[in-house]
Amino acid sequence: MRKTVIALGFFDGIHLGHAALLRRTSDVATAIGAEPAMLTFDTHPDELIGDVVIPLLTSQEERAAIVQEEFGIRTMISLRFDEELRNMEWEAFADRLIADFGASHFVVGHDFRFGRSAYGNSAKLMAHCARLGIGCDVIPAVTLDGITVSSTYIRALLIDGQAERAVRFIGRPHRLTDTVRFGYRLGRTIGAPTINMKFEPGVLIPKHGVYASRLRIEDDPSTYFAATNIGRRLTVADTSDVTVESFILDFDRIVYGKRVTLEFLRFLRPELKFDSLDALKAQIAADVDAVRLAAV
């Protein structure tokens, strides 16, 4: 079994705080000739422990993609967070990672807690590793504007539509990756064709409204800008289904079935209901102008 260096956490959003752990994981792995890996769980631990619903910033697939793109970490260990894992003693949890995944070094945040009743912490893990003769790094908190960078804070920013501030705390724009879906095709009838995407169940939906966005399409090296609406299509449908519709600037290709990564750069305005399609068309033109200014 090849030895690994494992970053421990949940890593929702892969923000600046997580980046410090993941960079250290990659660096240590290179130095000792091990494979860098990231541990995560299929469910946010707080959902089982606190009986609350935690809307996620990133799906597991998105997390894996970001970690590989930005830190070169290809191995993501995803454990099922069930009652057995919840009630496992912290020493047994650490020993399981060593036995099952070849862990020879751990990297954790200063506030990492694990094991039954969250009794394990970074200090205990470091002492346990020292007894076993394996490495353990504890990464201090990362702060910005006097605020500790956290997934909780970033969720609050996105719910409030503060996409630009979220960029600073994440270290990149908040993003959504999905396969382009067939929509209502109404946009084509008013000269504003859009691509349609959706958030996965359980993933946080940012504040409804129009965003200046940037996107990448699979098998295409170019980057495009778009006016993206998150909402319920108030003017033409007003349903309970939330859709993500993007009008791509200076673009006329058909991309149905393609994987697209959409990045939210700036919140432009709330979602509005218009009295006519002509009014909607005029507002889309104004939104496009706003996106061009934001893209400068």
Per-residue pLDDT of the chain (296 residues; tens, 9 = 90+): 789 999 999 999 999 999 999 999 999 999 999 999 999 988 887 766 666 788 999 999 999 999 999 999 999 999 988 888 888 999 999 999 999 999 999 999 999 988 888 899 999 999 999 999 999 999 999 999 999 999 999 999 999 999 999 999 999 999 999 999 875 554 444 445 789 999 998 999 999 999 999 999 999 999 999 999 999 865 555 566 888 999 999 998 889 899 999 999 999 999 888 777 888 888 888 999 999 988 75
Residue 284 placed within a domain: yes
Does residue 27 sit in the same domain as residue 97? yes
Closest CA relative to residue 255, chosen from 281, 210, 292, 219: 219
Q: Which residue has tokens 């996409």?
A: 163
Residue 161 placed within a domain: no
Does residue 131 sit in the same domain as residue 218? no
Does residue 206 sit in the same domain as residue 289? yes
Does residue 208 sit in the same domain as residue 84? no
Does residue 104 sit in the same domain as residue 204? no
pLDDT at 191: 46
Q: Contact, 76 vs 14, CB < 8 A?
A: no
Residue type, 233: R
Q: Residue-wise over 116-136: b if at least 16 C-beta within 10 A, else e?
A: eeeebbbebbeebbeeeebbb
Does residue 112 sit in the same domain as residue 29? yes
Which domain covers residue 34, as residue numbers?
4-148
CA neighbours closer than 13 Å in the CB half-sphere of residue 189: 8
Residue 188 placed within a domain: yes
Does residue 85 sit in the same domain as residue 204? no
Identify the burial level of 245 via C-beta atoms within 10 angstroms of its C-beta, where 0-12 means exposed, 13-18 middle and 19 or more buried: buried
Q: Contact, 121 vs 8, CB < 8 A?
A: no
pLDDT at 178: 95
Q: What is the CATH number of the domain that holds 263?
A: 2.40.30.30
Does residue 186 sit in the same domain as residue 279? yes
Does residue 104 sit in the same domain as residue 178? no
Domain count, the chain: 2
Q: What is the CATH number of the domain that holds 49?
A: 3.40.50.620
Does residue 80 sit in the same domain as residue 177? no
Report the C-alpha gap between 141 and 21 in whole angstroms: 10
pTM for this predicted structure: 0.91
CA torsion 122-123-126-128 (nearest 10°) is -110
Report the C-alpha gap between 108 and 137 in whole angstroms: 6
